[in-house]
């Protein structure tokens, strides 16, 4: 994969950080995009200190003009973009009654419009080179009902169907588009959620959340990154238009 260019949004922390590391280890040149430039630069520096290639940029994926500008810069610097990982996203907790219009718009702008903006920027590039891989971060919430996740589920359902549309429309251009659907993954978001809502019983709630996966634990960011690395590879060249669960059996066994 040497000389192939992989762009990862939300690459400064959590799952995005692990994806960047995995692709760097697989000899991709990784372009780390994040709203937090310092975090993106830290990820890129870590890749480079272990012998890989990486650059870092700050971008708000919900801002179409900013996304267009950063993708133009990437193509000027690198001449191509081979991989796009639409990983940037935010969470939201609450039923429809507890979700304000402002909260709904915020989640939509990042989780839905952000995927649209980045995919819209990269598809013409991939069409011209008649090759490319797009991987979108969906969720178990794309296909099953999760309590108190109204806005988040809305956004991830849209990610799933955008994936299907892109895969169908551009298969003849050599572009593969898939999404992955994680269950609960142990990330800083989980720690923040527990601290905010269950500060007095964090360990008890962590155990409860872990056991909601039939396999008995949460996933790790490294496990998600391993699946992404595979889907980017030539070994996955027959896979497109797929929603691939990585959820400890949550969807299949619990439902």
pLDDT tens digits, residue range 14-42?
Answer: 999 999 999 999 999 999 999 999 999 99
Model-level pTM? 0.94
Taking the C-alpha atoms of residue 194 and residue 61, their distance in angstroms, rounded to an integer, is: 27
Taking the C-alpha atoms of residue 84 and residue 24, their distance in angstroms, rounded to an integer, is: 14
Q: What is the pLDDT of residues 100-145, one digit of tens each?
A: 999 999 999 999 999 999 999 999 999 999 999 999 999 999 999 9
Residue 96 gets the label, from left (phi > 0), alpha (psi -120 to 50) or beta, of alpha
Please report the pLDDT score of residue 6 as a whole number: 98
Structural domain that includes position 238: 5-185+220-254
How many domains, the chain? Answer: 1
Kindly list the catalytic residues: 152
Residue 249 gets the label, from left (phi > 0), alpha (psi -120 to 50) or beta, of left
Q: Which two tokens stand for residue 101?
A: 């219009």
Which strand ranges, in their side-by-side order, compose the sheet holding 175-182?
Answer: 53-58, 29-34, 5-9, 83-86, 132-137, 175-182, 243-246
By percentage, how much of the chain surpasses pLDDT 70? 99
Rg of the chain on CA atoms, in Å: 18
Q: Which residue has the higher pLDDT, 70 or 2?
A: 70
Of 27-31, 128-132, 167-171, 208-212, the least confident: 208-212
Q: Which CATH number is 49's domain given?
A: 3.40.50.720
Q: How many CB atoms lie within 10 A of CB 172?
A: 9
Asked if residue 77 is part of any domain, the answer here is yes
Asked if residue 155 is part of any domain, the answer here is yes
Residue 14 gets the label, from left (phi > 0), alpha (psi -120 to 50) or beta, of left
Asked if residue 230 is part of any domain, the answer here is yes
Q: Which two tokens stand for residue 196?
A: 């905010």
Asked if residue 208 is part of any domain, the answer here is no
Asked if residue 191 is part of any domain, the answer here is no
Q: What is the pLDDT of residues 150-159, one digit of tens each?
A: 999 999 999 9
Asked if residue 152 is part of any domain, the answer here is yes
Asked if residue 172 is part of any domain, the answer here is yes
Please report the pLDDT score of residue 179 as a whole number: 98
Q: Which residue has the higher pLDDT, 75 or 201?
A: 75
Taking the C-alpha atoms of residue 136 and residue 119, their distance in angstroms, rounded to an integer, is: 9
Please report the pLDDT score of residue 110 as a whole number: 98
Task: Identify the H or E element spanning 204.
Answer: helix 202-211
Question: What average pLDDT score do residues 168-188 get?
Answer: 95
| 206 pLDDT above the threshold of 90 | no
pLDDT interval class at 198 (50, 70, 90): confident
Question: What average pLDDT score do residues 238-242 get?
Answer: 98
Q: What is the pLDDT of residues 77-100, one digit of tens each?
A: 998 999 999 999 999 999 999 999
């Amino acid at each position: 994969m040497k000389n192939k260019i992989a762009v990862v949004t939300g690459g400064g922390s959590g799952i995005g950080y692990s994806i960047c590391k995995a692709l760097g280890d697989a000899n991709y040149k990784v372009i780390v995009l994040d709203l937090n430039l310092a975090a993106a630069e830290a990820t890129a520096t870590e890749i480079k200190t272990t012998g890989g290639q990486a650059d870092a940029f700050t971008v708000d994926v919900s801002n179409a003009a900013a996304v267009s500008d950063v993708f133009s810069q990437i193509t000027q610097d690198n001449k191509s973009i081979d991989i796009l990982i639409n990983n940037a996203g935010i969470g939201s907790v609450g039923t429809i009654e507890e979700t304000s219009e402002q909260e709904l718009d915020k989640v939509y702008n990042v989780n839905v419009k952000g995927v649209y903006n980045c995919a819209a920027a990269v598809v013409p590039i991939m069409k011209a080179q008649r090759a490319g891989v797009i991987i979108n971060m969906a969720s178990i919430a794309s296909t099953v009902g999760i309590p108190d996740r109204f806005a988040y589920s809305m956004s991830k359902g849209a990610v799933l169907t955008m994936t299907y549309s892109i895969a169908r429309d551009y298969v003849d251009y050599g572009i593969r588009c898939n999404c992955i659907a994680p269950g609960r993954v142990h990330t800083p978001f989980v720690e923040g959620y527990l601290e905010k809502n269950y500060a007095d019983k964090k360990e008890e709630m962590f155990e409860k959340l872990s056991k909601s996966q039939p396999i008995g634990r949460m996933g790790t960011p490294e496990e998600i990154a391993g699946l992404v690395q595979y889907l980017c590879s030539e070994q996955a060249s027959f896979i497109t238009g797929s929603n691939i669960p990585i959820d400890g059996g949550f969807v299949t066994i619990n439902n």
